[in-house]
Structures are given as structure tokens and as C-alpha cells.
Structure 1
Amino acid sequence: MSIHIKSEAELEIMRRAGKALSQVMRDLEVAIQPGASTMQIDKLAEELVLAHGALPA
């Protein structure tokens, strides 16, 4: 097994993804209220991820 050293471009992609995910998590934390269904939370999470130009898993 060899170790792959990431290029600067790969690292930048990872940084952007991490920042986007961090923002999505902060937005979810503020938006989620008691009584919210998991379906509502999932839909909001998907919308937030798409708004960052990413594809939800």
C-alpha cells in the first residue's frame, strides 16, 4: 500500500468542501426546531448542499 500525497489542487477542493459542509451544518443547527421531522431536516440539508454547488449523498 502506497501513500498518495495530495496536490495543492486536491487540497483546495478538500478545503472548499469542508468549508461548505461546515456552513451547511451551522445552517441546519439554526434551522432545526423541536418537532421537525427527519424528512424536513433531510430536505433542508439537501437544499443547502445543492446551494453550495455540491451533490448530496
Structure 2
Amino acid sequence: MTPLQRPAARPLPQIFVIPIVLGVVSAIGLAVALVGDDVWDAIGWIGLGIPLAVTAWYARPK
């Protein structure tokens, strides 16, 4: 790509699908962790850890 070219525009659903999915996973993880015990706590930790893992993956130095 030359300096004068711009990347192609993406439609809004394509831009926001991943953040929406991560938000839903976070909300479900939080709700499950608050409502249940034992196994539900583990599921809640996983649900809350997935967005954190994705953020850490994309924030790592390249």
C-alpha cells in the first residue's frame, strides 16, 4: 500500500461484532459468577477471563 492509499472501509456490523461478543461474554460471566457457586464460579472466571485474554493478546508487543 502506498502512502496515499487508504484501507477499504468496513461496514459497522463487521467493526463491532467482536466488541459486542466480548461484552456479552463478560456479562454472562459476571451474572453466572454472582448467581451460582462452585462450578458456576469457575464458569464465571472463564467468562470474565476470555475478554482479558483477548485484550492481552492484542496488546502484546510485536
TM-score (norm 1): 0.45
Of structures 1 and 2, the one with the larger relative CO (CA 8 A, separation 6+) is 1
Report which of the two structures shows the higher radius of gyration computed on alpha carbons. 2
1 or 2, which has the higher helix percentage?
Answer: 2
